[in-house]
Amino acid sequence: MQNALFVGVSSQVALQRELDVIANNMANVSTTGFKGRSSRFQEFLMPVASADSFHRPDRRVSYVIDQGTALDLAQGPIEQTGNPLHVAVRGEAFLVVRTPNGDRYTRNGAFETDPQGNLVTSDGYAVQGEGGPIQINAQETGLSIGPDGTVSTNLGIRGRVRMVTFANPQALTNEGANLYGSAAAPVAAGINGRLESGALERSNVKPVIEMTRLMDVNRTYTMVSGVISRLDELRGTAIRRLADVA
């Protein structure tokens, strides 16, 4: 009975983790360039008495282990904005921005310029070009960003937006503000990344799917809670009967 309680609790912990992931996805349905995540779980067989030849009460017990989350890298829908400073990333590439903690990576191409003329994100982080930050003077006109990231004005080419890819994008870590960090060095995106000017990539989270997942998890959580409550009642009954016998 004790093993059954442990199995139920491990299931509840996993389901709570799944609820947290779904809630975060739902909260970012409208976040530009956001990539949803899904939970990953694995069965863990208790190593003690793991052989099937043991009597039924002593056979192996299966628990649930949280294996983290998987990043959904599917392309999000592209929405035209008409703003020449907006770019939608197509392909596997990420944009590079400079933060106080070093370079970070994003799919959010909603750029703007700061008072000094630097190309920045909406949070004020400098967008990195292949040669460093990109600066545009207030007097320049006709700004455009090409598919390869080339930034041009009436005065000519001002830089090229840096795009990178990763050998293992699943190793990227969420750092808040729609930014990712990576312990591994990125490589130039090349043909694996193109920009569409005057547009933004919307979140790839599908609300209907997330709501379905939410209902499934809630239903399962309620069922597991009921089983745990019933087991607790049975244990209490057994203890009282033992006390009566004594």
Domains of the chain: total: 2
Q: How far apart are CA 68 and CA 129, in angstroms?
A: 33
Quick one: pLDDT band at residue 67, thresholds 50, 70, 90? low
Q: What is the pLDDT of residues 179-193, one digit of tens each?
A: 999 999 999 998 899
Do 190 and 223 share a domain, yes or no? no
Do 176 and 240 share a domain, yes or no? no
- What is the residue range of 45's domain? 2-74+205-245
| Model pLDDT, residue 238 | 67
Quick one: pLDDT band at residue 60, thresholds 50, 70, 90? low
Quick one: pLDDT band at residue 3, thresholds 50, 70, 90? low
Q: How far apart are CA 104 and CA 160, in angstroms?
A: 17
| Model pLDDT, residue 145 | 97
Q: What is the pLDDT of residues 15-41, one digit of tens each?
A: 888 999 999 999 999 999 999 999 877
Do 195 and 116 share a domain, yes or no? yes
Do 154 and 126 share a domain, yes or no? yes
Q: Are strands 180-181 and 173-174 parallel, antiparallel or unpaired?
A: antiparallel
| Model pLDDT, residue 14 | 81
Do 49 and 84 share a domain, yes or no? no
Do 190 and 220 share a domain, yes or no? no
| Model pLDDT, residue 8 | 65
CA dist 216 to 6, 133, 223, Å?
Answer: 22, 47, 11
Phi (first) and psi of residue 56, to 5 degrees: -50, -45
Q: Which residue did the predictor score with more confidence, 193 or 46?
A: 193
Do 92 and 185 share a domain, yes or no? yes
Do 83 and 187 share a domain, yes or no? yes
DSSP state letter for 129 = E
Q: What are 138's two structure tokens?
A: 């207030």
Q: How far apart are CA 9 and CA 63, in angstroms?
A: 9
Do 97 and 167 share a domain, yes or no? yes
Picking from 95, 93, 91, 101, the residue whose alpha carbon sits closest to that of residue 119 is 95
Q: What is the pLDDT of residues 161-184, one digit of tens each?
A: 999 999 999 999 999 999 999 999
H helices, E strands: number in the chain: 2, 19
Question: Mean pLDDT score of the chain, rounded to an integer?
Answer: 87
| Model pLDDT, residue 42 | 64
Do 119 and 132 share a domain, yes or no? yes
End-to-end, the C-alpha distance of the chain in Å comes to 21
| Model pLDDT, residue 45 | 58
| Model pLDDT, residue 52 | 54
Q: For residue 160, what are the β-bridge partners?
A: 150
Quick one: pLDDT band at residue 76, thresholds 50, 70, 90? very high
Do 35 and 67 share a domain, yes or no? yes
Q: What is the pLDDT of residues 85-121, one digit of tens each?
A: 999 999 999 999 999 999 999 999 999 999 999 999 9
| Model pLDDT, residue 13 | 79
CA dist 110 to 56, 88, 201, 205, 230, Å?
Answer: 60, 8, 9, 18, 53
Do 109 and 54 share a domain, yes or no? no
> What share of the chain has pLDDT > 90, as a percent?
66
